Structure 1
Amino acid sequence: MTWNRHTPAYAVARLARHPGAEVRALVAARPDVGPDLVAELREDPDEDVRMCAPPPIPPHLGRVLGDPPGHRARP
C-alpha cells in the first residue's frame, strides 16, 4: 500500500505515523510525499526513516531545476 501511487493522501499520512519504522521508511521514500509530511519524517526517531526522507531542496536549486520564480521549495 505504501508504494501504490493511487493510495489517497490521507492514507499515506496515516501510514507515515505507523508504529513500524519499516512502514514509515517506505512512506518517506515515496516521491510524491508533500513537504509537510517530509519534514515530519525527517524528524522521525528512527534513523532509517530519516535517511529515506529526501533532503530539503535549497531555493536556488529549485530555480536551476526549473521551478518558476516564487515557487516554495520543499523544507
Structure 2
Amino acid sequence: MGFLWALIIGGIIGWLAGLIAGRDVPGGVIGNIVAGFIGAWLGSFILGQWGPEAGGFYIIPALIGAIILVFIVSFIMKSMRKHAS
C-alpha cells in the first residue's frame, strides 16, 4: 500500500508542478509521476528534507524540485522542436 500511496503523491506533485509552471508535463499521468519522483529527489538534494511529509515525500522541496524539472524539460523540448523544423 505504501508504494501505491507514493505513486499517487508523486503524480499529484508532478501535476501541481505543471499547473504552477504553466507548462504540461510530457507523458500524461506517467509523466506526472516521474516528474514528482525526480522532482522530490532534486528538491531534497537542493533544499534538504523539511516540511510536511506524505507518502515518503517532503512536500515543499518535492514541489519546488518538480517545478524546476518541468521548466528544464519544457526548455529542452522547446529547443528540440526548434531544431527539428
Above 0.5 in TM-score? no
- TM-score normalised by the shorter chain: which range applies? under 0.3
Greater per-residue strand proportion: 2
Choose between structure 1 and 2: higher helix proportion. Answer: 2
> Under a length normalisation based on structure 2, what TM-score does the superposition of the two structures give?
0.24
